[in-house]
Amino acid sequence: MGAKQKKYRIAGTAYPLEDLPDSGLPDEVLSFIHNYLQEDEIRAFTSGSTGKPKEIFLKTAHMRSSALKTLRFLELKEGQSCLLCLSPKYI
């Protein structure tokens, strides 16, 4: 019996990693998801609100920790969703 393939849930639908491009998400979001799931660090840019956007590298473990703290603060539960109001290109 083969290993069970991990799936990622987006808007209520589960996708294997290789099928995410068929999810209807914008290319920059798909790129971010692929990098996040496969790398220890993510290359990102600051927003540039005080000048030219600067390149930064963020550890995915730190991003995961921050996301979990945000979920707890907002009291979001499994099955609920929220709106991403910023481009994943900028932090």
**C-alpha separations of 28 from 10, 31, 65 in Å:** 15, 5, 22
Q: For 79, which DSSP code? A: T
User: Can you give the pTM of this predicted structure?
Assistant: 0.67
pLDDT tens, residue order, the chain (91 aa): 455 667 777 777 777 777 776 677 788 888 888 888 888 999 888 888 889 989 999 999 999 899 899 889 999 888 787 777 777 666 6
